[in-house]
A and B are shown apart, each in its own frame.
Chain A
Amino acid sequence: MKYLVVDDSKLARLGLIKSLKTHLPDVEVYQATNGEEAVELNKTHKPTIAFLDLTMPVMDGYEALPMMIWDNPDLKVIVVSADIQEQAKAKVIDLGAKLHIQKPINPNKMKDILETLECKI
């Protein structure tokens, strides 16, 4: 299974990947630093699951999300954001995200996410 981690912060990407690899040490992970890179990597590698930040330079998560699902309809997008306003959550679910999770991600939160998505841990 391939994973895509999209965040402009290196800290956020490292933290998320570390949490992911706690449960799934051998998975293939691609990294993007903004929405535009995410759209390209998604087209090329067709990941199964993408973790997507919202507030990013160049192209934000709101813009990238529908494009990524259009290009790769089987993609499951988990929005990982500091923006925890109810309207932000409703908007990303409306755009096709499976879940909206508050930053930062830790191994416990990741376990819950993977179980919700029925990934084999």
Chain B
Amino acid sequence: MQDITLTEDEKDVLQELMNVAYGNATAVVAEMLDAFATLSIPKIKVLKTQELIKEFHSLEGKSFFFSTQAFVGDFSGESAFFIDEASAKNLSSHLELESEEDLDDAILELTNVLTSTLTTRLAQEMNTEVRFALPSISKLPLNEIENSQTFQNYSQVIVIDTQLNFEHQKINGEIFILTKDGSIEWLKNRLNTILEALM
């Protein structure tokens, strides 16, 4: 398969669209948790799946709650949300949850709100629509992450990596949007159309 790369201008456009989308999603989640979050600059990379797994290995912490939500349309893929155990415990305490089941439910709802708001807004900015599957959750030790079915579905991915940081509550999460191979060319064309309209 031919390797696909993004030019600096294409990365800039995608990063800015993501920034707008992420701002919206963060505001919704902040309201849901009644907390204030800081925003990070989205990092955009095109990676082979094995390279992405190496990136995951560099994450701090030993095990993560890992939830994913697939989306389909012209722009198809999957969003993945990582939250480490310590942050999950802090989330549980902040929301005064009583059981592990309640915590799973809270993480799923957080993922659902965060990733669907994020992806919907990103799609709007690119003048297209996406449909969502239900999110699913698993708790994985980091060294088992490559066995996750999610990563078997992709050979090359555009990774949009941003951090969600509720400083006072000590809740940190990391969001990845993984696009399917066939969507990358569509995405490149759309990014260039947006850029050309401003020139």
Pick the residue among B9, B20, B198 that contacts A82 (CB under 8 A).
B20
Q: Is B19 an interface residue (CB 8 A)?
A: yes
Q: Chain A interface mostly helix, strand, loop or mixed?
A: loop
Give 1 or 0 for each of B16-38: 1 = CB within 8 Å of chain A CB.
11011111101100100000110
Q: Is A12 an interface residue (CB 8 A)?
A: yes
Q: Which residues of A contact B21 (CB under 8 A)?
A: 82
- B19, closest chain A residue (CB): A82
Q: Is A56 an interface residue (CB 8 A)?
A: yes
The answer to whether A84 and B19 touch (CB under 8 A), given A9-B12, A10-B12, A11-B198, is: no
Q: Which residues of B contact A102 (CB under 8 A)?
A: 23
**How many A-B residue pairs lie within 8 Å, measured between CB atoms?**
57
Chain A interface bracket (under 10, 10 to 19, 20 to 34, 35 or more): 20 to 34
Are B16 and A12 touching (Cβ within 8 A)? Answer: yes
B interface residues, how many (CB within 8 angstroms) = 25
Q: Chain B interface mostly helix, strand, loop or mixed?
A: helix
Q: Which residues of A contact B41 (CB under 8 A)?
A: 8, 55-57
Give 1 or 0 for each of A9-25: 1 = CB within 8 Å of chain B CB.
11110110010000000
Are B23 and A11 touching (Cβ within 8 A)? Answer: no
- B125, closest chain A residue (CB): A104
Pick the residue among B16, B22, B27 that contacts A11 (CB under 8 A).
B16
Q: Is B194 an interface residue (CB 8 A)?
A: yes
Within the assembled complex, what's the spacing in Å between the Cα atoms of A102 and B19? 11
Are B195 and A81 touching (Cβ within 8 A)? Answer: no
Closest 5 CB pairs of A and B: A82-B23, A9-B16, A14-B198, A87-B36, A11-B16
16 A-B contacts, Cβ less than 8 Å apart?
A: A8-B41, A9-B12, A9-B16, A11-B13, A12-B16, A14-B198, A55-B40, A56-B41, A82-B21, A82-B23, A84-B24, A84-B27, A87-B36, A102-B23, A103-B23, A104-B20
| Chain B residues packing against A (C-beta within 8 Å) | 9, 12-13, 15-17, 19-24, 26-27, 30, 36-37, 39-41, 125, 194-195, 198-199
